[in-house]
Amino acid sequence: MEKPKEVLLWSIALPGFGHFLNGKYFKGIVLIFLEFLVNVKGNINLVIIFSFQGEIEQAIQHADYQWLMFYPCLYFFAIWDAYRDAGGGKEPYSFLPFVFSAYFMTVGVVYSSKLLGPIWLPILSIIPGLIVGFLLQRYIRRKLTT
């Protein structure tokens, strides 16, 4: 497996891990600390457990949305930054799928107390974020080459 893909997958597992693989230890420690802080303050692990057990109302009640709002941008920035540091994303506008996934996931967090809860709607919101990001990336690249 190429290093950028390996770093990408480790970053998805836990933001900061990809930075360790890249030798960016300070950045990795900061991102793991921020991940831990937002996770604890937002009650994310408890919310995940309730969500996976189908107890959406419990998940909504235990979620701290003030902290949960930070998570999507922190998560996708960490993934993108480690991936780019590993040599991935060299093509123009390669960041767009990551950025739009963060935007759409944040919107998913905003509406999650009304629909599907604080885990499922944000996770499902990543799909349209990726689609919009890749389509916009493709459109802009074509415009630049014509």
**Residue 102 phi, psi (nearest 5):** -65, -45
Residue 145 is predicted with a pLDDT of 85
Compute CA distances 6 → 3, 79, 113, 131, whole Å: 5, 11, 34, 22
Quick check: 119 and 48 in contact, CB under 8 A? yes
Residue 32 is predicted with a pLDDT of 97
Residue 52 CA to residue 98 CA, distance in Å, equals 25
Q: Whole-model pTM?
A: 0.91
Res 115 pLDDT > 80: yes
pLDDT digits (tens, 9 = 90+) for 27-71: 999 999 999 999 999 999 999 999 999 999 999 999 999 999 999
Residue 79 CA to residue 73 CA, distance in Å, equals 10
pLDDT band at 4 (very low <50, low <70, confident <90, very high): very high
